[in-house]
Amino acid sequence: MSVLHIIEIIIFIAASFGIYKLFKAKKYQIPTCLAVITLLFLILLFQFVFLPGHSGPSISFKGGDHLTLEVGTNYDVNSVIATDGLSDITDLLKADSTPDTTKTGEYTIRYTLEYKGDVYYKDRVVSVVDTTAPVIELKEKTAFLAMDNYDGDITANVQVETEQQKDGKYLLTYTVSDSSGNKTTATRTVETLDTEAPVIELNGNKIKVIMVGETYKDEGVKAIDNMDGDVSSRVQSDCGGSFKSDVAGIYKIQYTAEDSSGNKSTATRTVHVLNKIGYDSSLWKTPDGKGVVYLTFDDGPSEVTIKNLDILKQYGVKATFFIVNHNYNESTKPIIKRIIEEGHTLALHDGNNHDYDKTYGSKTSYLEGINRLHDQVLADFGYDARIIRFPGGASNQVSKKPSPGLMGTLPKLMLDNGYLYYDWNVDSTDATTTNAKDPVAIYNNVTKGLKQGRINVVLMHDIKSKTATNEALDDIIKYGIDNGYNFAAITEDTPLVCHNATNV
């Protein structure tokens, strides 16, 4: 209210009082008095409401000072009006922002008006809300999709409840909420329930080895579903876009199979691309520059294996056990089971009783022995052992007598059959006659051999006479931990550590 208004009201009251006095003095009749007072009042009202400059400009919002908008709709910029008396001065309005109606939230917009040398402003609050519930689309069999106007695909958030009815059918209830808490439920009844994903079987070996520059041809997979049958043609394969057959490295190819009920399964194939077969220390560098220790034990299992497992367990360290067939029997099966269950790698060393003349007796005798041992482990434990170590290493001389030149072809034969072979780059010397019974010598040879920045494959043994190795183990692990080494078990993702063959 301005001074002008107060003056006007005083004049109005004074005039009304004057007229009342004149009435009392009987100069006027009542109707005339009322008519004059009403006229005065109307003039006053007109002044107040309509005359420019009288009450200042006003800013008003159609839809209210606090507007609520559904996300995705438009904010009407014409819903703000500025007037001064009867004249529209909306063109002079300036807004400091516009609400982002694609995102939920509360926005405050300041409207400013510069008018006749003064600045006026008024704030408007716009709440952008999502009140639209998601939509669940029921697809073929038990497949479904949940889409939300705001969150997009939220299929992964759907909760499915299954309830078997009296008639043996299943009532499926799907429930999902969007990020604003809007909930949708859908139900359907199905005769049978398919919760089993397709089973993927790789064509060819799970591990492939090729040379740099060689063309890699993927052999694909077979995928069989319990309900849909052969879904091989629907399998998606992905190598993460990184596969380069001209760069040495380890690549993973992932296969995904999905049945019509939306059950998914995956399988992977590992491809090693090598510069050459044999010694290649360029593969040993670790990505983070830290040293990694792969403790390996040959020729077990035996009762010493149990003692080694106890120490490894105490430190949470994983190792690799290269077993031989002649130490694989009913009494050592629990040890093999323990190796697998405690997360170590069960690897294969020899399937011909570690008898070099038999092991290396022909071009294929080593492979045949390993295959037999592999199949036995698979049958007994469901474990697909794919890591091997040649007796005496790939650099062995012992194959020379039965098969001259054998190691010129055997490494490639094993790789082509889906086995990765690992020699060692740190020798504990626990197989030598001088050091076999000397824990200090074993400890010294291992710790001197370890190098930072690379993978270290440590050769040790766990036949029952190797108690000195067991005695040195605790301190070897302590040394590794104290010096910042990581410990790991060899897997198909471990770069090859190989010797050059000599019997070629």
**Residue from 84, 178, 258, 298 in contact with Zn ion (CB under 5 A):** 298
Which residue number is nearest to Zn ion in terms of Cβ? 298
- Residue 344 CB, nearest distance to Zn ion (Å)? 18
The token duo for 497 is 């550590």
- Of the two residues 142 and 365, which places its CB atom closer to Zn ion in the complex? 365
- Residue by residue, DSSP assigns 150-176 as TTEE-GGG-EEEEEE-TTS-EEEEEEE
- Of the two residues 273 and 436, which places its CB atom closer to Zn ion in the complex? 436
- Residue 461 CB, nearest distance to Zn ion (Å)? 7
Q: Is 259 in the site for Zn ion (CB under 5 A)?
A: no
Binding to Zn ion by CB under 5 A, coded x per residue (else -) over 422-461, reads ----------------------------------------
Q: Which stretch binds Zn ion (CB under 5 A): 136-144, 215-223, 299-307, 475-483?
A: 299-307
- Of the two residues 391 and 480, which places its CB atom closer to Zn ion in the complex? 391
Q: Which stretch binds Zn ion (CB under 5 A): 18-26, 43-51, 295-303, 442-450?
A: 295-303
- Between strands 80-84 and 87-88, the pairing is antiparallel
- Of the two residues 298 and 430, which places its CB atom closer to Zn ion in the complex? 298
Could you give the CA distance from residue 158 to residue 164 in angstroms, rounded to a whole number? 19
Quickly count: other Cβ atoms within 10 Å of residue 62's Cβ.
Answer: 10
- Residue 480 CB, nearest distance to Zn ion (Å)? 23
- Residue 360 CB, nearest distance to Zn ion (Å)? 13
- Residue 352 CB, nearest distance to Zn ion (Å)? 11
Using a 10 angstrom Cβ sphere, with 0-12 exposed, 13-18 middle and 19 or more buried, the burial of residue 460 is buried
- Residue 321 CB, nearest distance to Zn ion (Å)? 12
# binding residues, Zn ion (CB under 5 A): 3
Binding to Zn ion by CB under 5 A, coded x per residue (else -) over 65-104, reads ----------------------------------------
Quickly count: other Cβ atoms within 10 Å of residue 407's Cβ.
Answer: 25
Binding to Zn ion by CB under 5 A, coded x per residue (else -) over 211-240, reads ------------------------------
Asked if residue 336 lies in contact with residue 462, where contact means CB atoms within 8 angstroms, the answer is: no
Could you tell me the CA-to-CA distances from 498 to 274, 371, 396, 491 in Å, in that order? 11, 21, 12, 15
Could you give the CA distance from residue 458 to residue 447 in angstroms, rounded to a whole number? 10
The token duo for 37 is 């007072």
DSSP state of 454: B
Supply angle C-alpha 410, 282, 458, rounded to 5.
Answer: 65
Read off the amino acid at residue 223.
A
Helices (H), 400-494: 410-416, 439-449, 467-482
- Residue 389 CB, nearest distance to Zn ion (Å)? 8
Helix (H), strand (E) counts: the chain: 9, 28
User: What does the chain come to in residues?
Assistant: 504
- Of the two residues 184 and 352, which places its CB atom closer to Zn ion in the complex? 352
Helix, strand, coil tally for the chain in percent (to 5): 30, 30, 40
- Residue 335 CB, nearest distance to Zn ion (Å)? 17
Residues 390-409 within binding reach of Zn ion (CB under 5 A): 391
Q: Is 299 in the site for Zn ion (CB under 5 A)?
A: yes
- Of the two residues 84 and 299, which places its CB atom closer to Zn ion in the complex? 299
Q: For residue 47, what is the enclosing H or E element? A: helix 30-50
- Of the two residues 177 and 327, which places its CB atom closer to Zn ion in the complex? 327
Binding to Zn ion by CB under 5 A, coded x per residue (else -) over 352-391, reads ---------------------------------------x
Could you tell me the CA-to-CA distances from 204 to 146, 209, 274 in Å, in that order? 38, 12, 19
Residues in contact with Zn ion by the rule CB under 5 A: 298-299, 391
